[in-house]
Amino acid sequence: MNERNENADIALMTEIATLYYTEGETQEVIANRLGISRVKAGRLLKRAQAEGIVDVRVRQHPAVSAEIEQALKRRFGIKRALIALDHADSDVQRANVASLVADHLSRQLSEGAIVAVGMGRNVGAVADNVFEQGQRQCSFVCAIGGSVRAGEYMNPDHICRRLAIKFGGDSETLYAPALVQNLELRDAMYENPTIRQTLDRARRADLALIGIGDLSENSNMVRMGWFTPQETAEARLSGTVGDMMGYDFIDIYGRPSMTPMQGRVIGLTITDLARIPDVIAIAAENTKAAGILGALRTGVIDTLATSVTNAHTILRLDEATRVDDKSG
């Protein structure tokens, strides 16, 4: 197909998609109006979706979402919950959750706002799902160091840059590794003026975007080899259920885990996050319910973004472990 024909097809697909999805016309009406067969109109509609001209997103009914949101708000004292429908494809589910966070950012970010940005697939997906927002002059600041193993997509520096482009603002890099060998080295790096300056700015953020990690085989830290299999296994045995994007490892009650993995990440801490007005925690994967529960119990999360299955599992798990905690 030559370039002229391809451009003509794109224009036709865009026109058909606009008539169908925006103006509500039937395929038969569209076919008659454009002088093509109904079969061709249907085929071009499917192609428009496959090529990204059309982005169809199914939202949960507001009444159902409101019921789950209210249950989570009452139980954990959070300000809001953003609940997306489950999907069999983990990438699609991640995008569905991220799009809710992107919409929240679009509504909440005001001129000159500062956003502290974490790392990971869930945080990275938010940048992909934000539509161009004009010039809001927001600042996106790395709240954790970088990692070569994470790749560009999941690194906070690249996420900040993508968000800055979408919101017409600026980004600030934390010039430090995400992970160091021990607590002493981490504390020494905190004395570096450049590192301290960026982290101080992140601490003054109006919002924070963080992921919630777990210790499953598919988790970022395990896949990237941040910790040895033995360290990960010992952490699980000690009661560790996850981390708040590497800032702090926690047990299911939201308490710091007693593990040697603790204290080796250069970034904000739970204490730092507690001072930020809107901490948005994002976790789409259905393996993360225990980690999400532990994170909610720290009391620092203001906005939770997750899936329907996770939301229900968290509520049930909270009931079960509260009973166990009292009886123990």
**Residue 250 scores a pLDDT above 80:** yes
Q: Which residues contact 319 (CB under 8 A, 6 or more apart)?
A: none
pLDDT tens digits, one per residue of 17-52: 888 877 788 898 999 988 899 889 888 888 888 787
CA distance linking residue 118 with residue 248, whole number of Å: 13
Q: Residue 326: pLDDT above 50?
A: no
90 with 223, same domain: the answer is: yes
| Final residue before a domain boundary, out of 55, 74, 91 | 55
Task: Give kind and range of the element (H or E) at residue 117.
Answer: strand 114-117
Q: Please indicate, yes or no, whether residues 15 and 68 belong to a single structural domain of this protein.
A: no
Domain identity same for 183 and 231:
yes
Q: Are residues 23 and 93 in the same domain?
A: no
Q: Answer yes or no: is pLDDT of 308 > 70.
A: yes
231 shares its domain with 245: yes
Q: Two tokens at 248?
A: 């702090």
Tokens 């002493």 locate to 184
The helix (H) or strand (E) run that includes residue 279 is: strand 278-282
Residues 49 and 66 in one domain: no
The whole-number pLDDT of residue 136 equals 79
pLDDT above 80 for 7:
no
What's the CA gap between 88 and 75, in Å, rounded? 28
- 70-80 pLDDT per residue, tens: 999 999 999 99
User: Number of structural domains, the chain?
Assistant: 2
pLDDT at 215 over 80: no
Q: Over range 236-245, report the average pLDDT.
A: 84
Does residue 21 sit in the same domain as residue 70? no
pLDDT of 98: 95
Whether residue 323 has pLDDT greater than 60: no
Question: Smallest Cα–Cα separation from 145: which of 216, 251, 256, 226?
Answer: 226
- Whether 9 has a pLDDT exceeding 90, the answer reads no
CATH number (domain holding residue 50): 1.10.10.60
Question: How many helices (H) and strands (E) are present in the chain, helices listed first?
Answer: 15, 9
Residue 240 has pLDDT above 60, yes or no: yes
Average pLDDT over residues 190-219: 90
If asked whether residues 103 and 202 sit together in one domain, one would say: yes
The pLDDT confidence band at residue 1, using thresholds 50, 70 and 90, is very low
**Residue 224: pLDDT above 90?**
no
Q: What is the pLDDT of residue 327?
A: 43
Same domain membership, residue 38 and residue 154:
no
Residue 71 shares a structural domain with residue 111: yes
**19, 33 contact by CB (below 8 A):** yes
For the chain, give the mean pLDDT. 86
Counting residues of the chain whose pLDDT is more than 90, the rounded percentage is: 49
Looking at residue 62, what is its pLDDT? 56
Domain holding 32, by residue range, is 1-55
Q: Which pLDDT value is given to residue 126?
A: 96
pTM: 0.78
Q: Average pLDDT for residues 206-212, to the nearest whole number?
A: 96
Whether residues 65 and 82 fall in one domain: yes
The answer to whether residue 328 sits within a structural domain is: no
Q: Which residues, listed in sequence order, are joined to residue 240 by a DSSP beta bridge?
A: 251
Question: According to the model, what pLDDT value does residue 246 have?
Answer: 61
Residue 157 forms part of a structural domain: yes
Supply angle C-alpha 304, 284, 179, rounded to 5.
85
What are the structure tokens assigned to 120, written together? 């990971």
79-118: buried (b, 16+ CB within 10 Å) or exposed (e) per residue? eebbbbbebeeeeebbbbbbbbbbebbeeebeeebbbbbb
Q: For the segment 89-131, what is each residue's pLDDT rounded down to a tens digit?
A: 889 899 999 999 999 999 999 889 999 999 989 999 999 998 8
Model pLDDT for residues 141-188, shown as the tens digit of each residue? 999 998 876 667 789 999 999 999 999 899 999 999 988 888 899 999
Is residue 60 predicted with pLDDT exceeding 60?
Answer: no
Q: For position 310, what pLDDT does the model report?
A: 95
Domain boundary among the residues 55, 76, 94 is at 55
Residue 325 lies in a domain: no
Range 133-143 average pLDDT: 87
CATH of the domain at 250: 3.40.50.1360
User: Which residues touch 244 (CB under 8 Å, ≥6 apart)?
Assistant: 210, 212, 213, 250, 270, 273, 281, 295, 298, 300
Specify if 248 maps to a domain: yes
Better pLDDT: 269 or 54: 269
Question: Residue 325's pLDDT band (boundaries 50, 70, 90)?
Answer: very low
Torsion of CA 82, 88, 90, 95, to 10 degrees: -40
Q: What is the DSSP letter of 58?
A: P
